Amino acid sequence: MSTIASLADITRVHAENQPDKVAMVFEGREWTYAELDRESNQVANALVAAGVGPQDRVAHLDKNGPEYFSYLFGASKINAVGVAVNWRLAAPEMEYILNHSGAKVLLIGEEFLGHYEQMNLETVSTVVVVGNVDAHLDYATWISSADDNDPNVDVGWTDTSYQLYTSGTTGLPKGVELTNRNFFEMLPAASAEWYFDTDSVNLVAMPLFHIAGSGWGVVGLYNGGTNVLLREADLVELLRLIEAYEITNALLVPAILQFLLITPEAQETNFSSLRCMVYGASPITEEVLAGSMSLMGCKFVQAYGLTETTGGVTILRADDHDPGGPKSHLLRSAGQVWGDVELRIVDPETGDDLGDSEVGEIWVKTIQNLKSYWNDPAATDEAYPEGIDEDGRGWFRTGDAGYTEQGFLFIHDRVKDMIISGGENIYPAEVENVLMAHPEIADVAVIGVPDEKWGETVKAVITPAAESDPDEVALIEYCRERLAHYKCPTSVDRLGLIPRNPAGKILKTELRKPYWEGQERAVN
């Protein structure tokens, strides 16, 4: 793999060495590495024709599909930056990301044109649609007129190659800049720890706007394996693909694993081809984990990481999965560091390092850490309180709280108030800002509460405005009109006074306490 030094090189190298090897499968259609390389060349030249240059942003807004990878690799071949937009967002949220990124070209799925019509885009000059529409240029036509020769634009090791957006603590998403260097620190470690090789048949089921989806897909192609794409998480179709294509590697969030355990078709599925199931992004119970291991009979590996760390920075290896055995206590851990990753547990108030078994904020130093937050130097400085050295390494504040024991990391809680529901990150401030605009609400706090299916779900605790009696269903619908549905409250409680400290900060820990009493709260 030494000849692969950028995202652009992945298709180049494999097209040269194994042109007829199947690179991708989607809904029964196959793409060889030669075809993927050629199509990404066409995308690259079409982007140039649209006025895209080095480090310009180009955006993708659609559910999982093969065009995503052609677009990502095509952008890389001209040193442009792929921006993946969460298709689950509401139109105003999509608009903010597209405008903030400065995207020049938008590749959008046909089913999201309704969202597009609601947006006022400031920088997008070319819209390309995946699908058949008369009003816009379609993807097939767009690339068909483009040259299929490799443009061979120089790509810098520390140039940004990929930009993903995370929810911000202030309510505004932040653009995480990931470089080729970030990826190529992660890729060799991930390949070894997740049992990838050129014979891998890799199920890409997680959304590609997540690092868990796109990063996972890149790992499969980096190794010269075959990616089998699932458009969205249809459990019956997922099971069919595992058996039909003899899937060897897969990554799923705990909520999906839990649903599979109660899906009748799962009991009839042949999982014998599976080498490794990687899981993470949200809490998992020992019961779900043990049940999944028994059902699938393959190696299980847990991964902990963030978008800002290019995915995984610690893993709980297969050998440490021992339900009911002497190592069973390790199932509550997030494992050990890998690659070049260093870990500290820091007192968030004093900045002092803490010892074993002492809970503090998790700080991570690795070349996998983000280059910066796009156009947000203040947020970047806050994330790197001790700065970044000449090698591009610095201690990154994860915002998660945890402790270490004998080299294993245990996630205790979150320093920030982020809610993780079914693997989706939700920042309360975003939801609170929407609800505070409602005329019948005087004060509001949004917290995560236990949920059997999703790990936790969103609850709004409100103080009604004087002489108001807001309806719970109407408030939830009010949010759903303005936010992605997964961010919206599933329940609303009333409280005469929202508890705050003398500085006015909401006491979220106090608010959460009665809902989490008797629950073991863990974050993976």
Mean pLDDT of 268-295: 90
Q: Where is pLDDT greater, at 62 or 399?
A: 62
Q: In whole angstroms, what is the distance from residue 475 CA to residue 479 CA?
A: 6
Predicted confidence band of residue 504 (pLDDT cuts 50, 70, 90): low
User: Over 50: is that where the pLDDT of 136 sits?
Assistant: yes
pLDDT at site 390? 84
Mean pLDDT of 66-74: 98
Lowest mean pLDDT among 59-63, 117-121, 452-456: 452-456
Q: CA angle 159-173-7, nearest 5°?
A: 25
Q: Where is pLDDT greater, at 472 or 415?
A: 472
Residue that is written with structure tokens 């494999």 in the block? 14
pLDDT at site 248? 98
Residues paired with 155 in a beta bridge: none
Q: In whole angstroms, what is the distance from residue 10 CA to residue 184 CA?
A: 11
User: Over 70: is that where the pLDDT of 413 sits?
Assistant: no
Mean pLDDT computed over every residue of the chain? 92
Q: What's the pLDDT tens digit per position in 183-195?
A: 999 999 999 999 9
Q: What's the pLDDT tens digit per position in 288-298?
A: 899 999 999 99
Q: What's the pLDDT tens digit per position in 291-319?
A: 999 999 999 999 999 999 999 999 999 99
Mean pLDDT of 260-287: 90
Mean pLDDT of 331-338: 92
Most confidently predicted of 14-18, 282-286, 344-348:
14-18
Q: What's the pLDDT tens digit per position in 186-227?
A: 999 999 999 999 999 999 999 999 999 999 999 999 999 999
Mean pLDDT of 320-328: 89
Element (H, E) at 177: strand 174-179
Q: Where are the alpha helices (DSSP H) in 103-253?
A: 113-117, 139-144, 180-193, 211-222, 235-244
User: Over 80: is that where the pLDDT of 169 sits?
Assistant: no
Collapsed DSSP state (helix, strand, coil) of residue 501: coil
pLDDT at site 62? 98
Q: In whole angstroms, what is the distance from residue 439 CA to residue 27 CA?
A: 47
pLDDT at site 502? 54
Map out the domains of the chain as residue ranges: 7-320, 428-516
- Nearest to residue 40, comparing CAs of 17, 60, 10, 18? 10
pLDDT at site 512? 87
pLDDT at site 392? 85
Q: In whole angstroms, what is the distance from residue 422 CA to residue 255 CA?
A: 6
Mean pLDDT of 445-453: 90
Q: Where is pLDDT greater, at 56 or 514?
A: 56
User: Over 60: is that where the pLDDT of 2 sits?
Assistant: no
At residue 484, φ and ψ (nearest 5 deg) are -55, 140
Predicted confidence band of residue 45 (pLDDT cuts 50, 70, 90): very high
pLDDT at site 401? 84
Mean pLDDT of 238-266: 94
Predicted confidence band of residue 416 (pLDDT cuts 50, 70, 90): low
- Report the CATH superfamily, name and number, of domain 7-320: ANL, N-terminal domain (3.40.50.12780)
Contact 77, 45 (CB under 8 A): no
Residues paired with 416 in a beta bridge: none
User: Over 80: is that where the pLDDT of 415 sits?
Assistant: no
Predicted confidence band of residue 524 (pLDDT cuts 50, 70, 90): very low
pLDDT at site 124? 98
User: Over 70: is that where the pLDDT of 523 sits?
Assistant: no
User: Over 80: is that where the pLDDT of 128 sits?
Assistant: yes
User: Over 50: is that where the pLDDT of 497 sits?
Assistant: yes
For 341-454, strand residue ranges (E) read 342-346, 360-365, 372-373, 395-405, 408-414, 419-421, 424-426, 441-451
Q: What's the pLDDT tens digit per position in 420-434?
A: 888 887 878 788 878
Contact 384, 366 (CB under 8 A): no
pLDDT at site 102? 98
The CATH code for residues 428-516 is 3.30.300.30
